[in-house]
């Protein structure tokens, strides 16, 4: 039978310094939201849009088994004249275990200012890494691109924790998709009005 737990060595491997550091002071977290409290379901979250020209959207992610939760806010600058869409700003509010917090932090570092296509590629590679059951991924280009996010390889051995690591990435994907689809509907409406 598979051993889904860990010994001391595994514990150190899962909670590497990069993860513990990132979890203590995660990048991209805004607002001062205490753990728990009545607003912990995210209803009370309001993040101000900084880039008016961008398409903004939010996605609330919740892991009901442990209460990890985050609202991921993105502002996407639409590509002009066929250029790529850019993630102009990505921030989040939330609370959770060190794995979810560190993963959010590293995800923000990786996709902030990047093209949407690049962010989606990273998300796909990160999912592959998390589904690798500890084996990691072979694609060296993907390894390089994931950078610090590769430290979550140790987490991928533990089925109960994979969702923690994926929380932020899922929120990024959902909020970017929402921003773009809202934008398209708006564009279409404007065009129809002009026609």
Partner 1 sequence: MVIDDSIRQQFPILDQQVHGHPMVYLDSAATAQKPLAVIDAVRDFYLKDNAGVHRGAHELAARSTMAFEHARSRVAALVGAEGQEGGEEIVVTAGATAALNLLATAFGNASLGRGGKAAQRFALKPGDEVVVSKAEHHSVLLPFQELCYRTGAVLKSFDLDPDGRVLADTADQVITERTKVVAVTHVSNVTGAITDIKPIVRRAHQVGALVVLDVCQSVPHLPIDLHAMDVDFAAWSAHKMYGPTGVGFLYGRRELLEALPPASFGGSMVELAYLDRPASYMDPPARFEAGTQPVAQMIGAGVAADWLMDLGMENVAEHEKAIAIGLLRVGELDGVRILGPTTPEDRIGTVAFDVQGVHPHDVGQYVDSRGIAIRVGHHCAQPVHRHFGLMASNRASTGVYNTVADTDALLDAVSGVRRFFRVA
Residues that bind partner 1 (CB under 8 A): 3, 5-8, 10-11, 14-15, 20, 24, 34-38, 40, 65-69, 95-99, 158, 161, 164
Beta carbon of residue 36, minimum distance to partner 1 (angstroms, whole number): 4
Classify residue 107 as exposed, middle or buried by CB count within 10 Å of its CB (0-12, 13-18, 19+).
buried
Residue 61: CB atoms within 10 Å: 25
Minimum Å gap between C-beta 19 and partner 1 is 10
CA distances from 163 to 8, 113, 137, 152, 167 (A): 22, 25, 18, 12, 6
Q: Which DSSP state fits 67?
A: T
Q: Which is nearer to partner 1, 24 or 188 (CB)?
A: 24
Shortest separation between residue 21's beta carbon and partner 1, angstroms: 8
**Between residues 57 and 164, which has the closer beta carbon with respect to partner 1?**
164
Query: Which CB atom, from 87 or from 164, has the smaller least distance to partner 1?
Result: 164
- Closest-CA residue to 116 (of 175, 51, 47): 175
Do residues 162 and 156 touch, judged by C-beta distance below 8 A? yes
- How far apart (Å, rounded) are the C-alpha atoms in residues 149 and 123? 10
CB of 32 to partner 1, least distance (A): 15
Residue 54 vs 102, nearer CB to partner 1 = 102
71 or 88: whose CB is closer to partner 1? Answer: 71
- For residue 99, the minimal CB distance to partner 1 (Å) is 7
| Cβ 145 to partner 1 shortest distance, Å | 28
Strand ranges (E), the chain: 55-63, 68-77, 86-95
Beta carbons within 8 Å of 127's beta carbon, 6+ residues apart: 166, 169
Select 78 or 171, whichever has its Cβ closest to partner 1: 171
Integer Cα distance of 126 and 107 in angstroms: 10
């Amino acid at each position: 039978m598979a051993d889904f737990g860990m010994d001391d060595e595994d514990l150190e491997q899962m909670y590497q310094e990069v993860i513990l550091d990132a979890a203590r002071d995660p990048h991209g977290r805004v607002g001062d939201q205490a753990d728990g409290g009545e607003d912990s379901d995210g209803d009370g979250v309001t993040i101000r849009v900084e880039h008016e020209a961008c398409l903004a959207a939010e996605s609330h992610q919740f892991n009901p088994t442990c209460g990890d939760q985050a609202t991921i806010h993105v502002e996407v600058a639409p590509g002009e004249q066929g250029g790529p869409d850019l993630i102009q700003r990505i921030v989040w509010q939330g609370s959770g275990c060190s794995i979810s917090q560190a993963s959010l932090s590293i995800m923000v570092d990786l996709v902030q200012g990047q093209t949407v296509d690049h962010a989606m590629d990273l998300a796909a590679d990160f999912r592959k890494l998390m589904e690798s059951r500890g084996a990691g991924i072979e694609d060296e280009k993907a390894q390089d691109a994931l950078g610090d996010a590769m430290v979550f390889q140790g987490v991928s051995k533990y089925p109960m924790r994979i969702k923690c690591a994926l929380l932020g990435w899922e929120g990024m994907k959902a909020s970017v998709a929402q921003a773009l689809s809202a934008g398209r509907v708006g564009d279409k409406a404007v065009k129809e009005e002009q026609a």
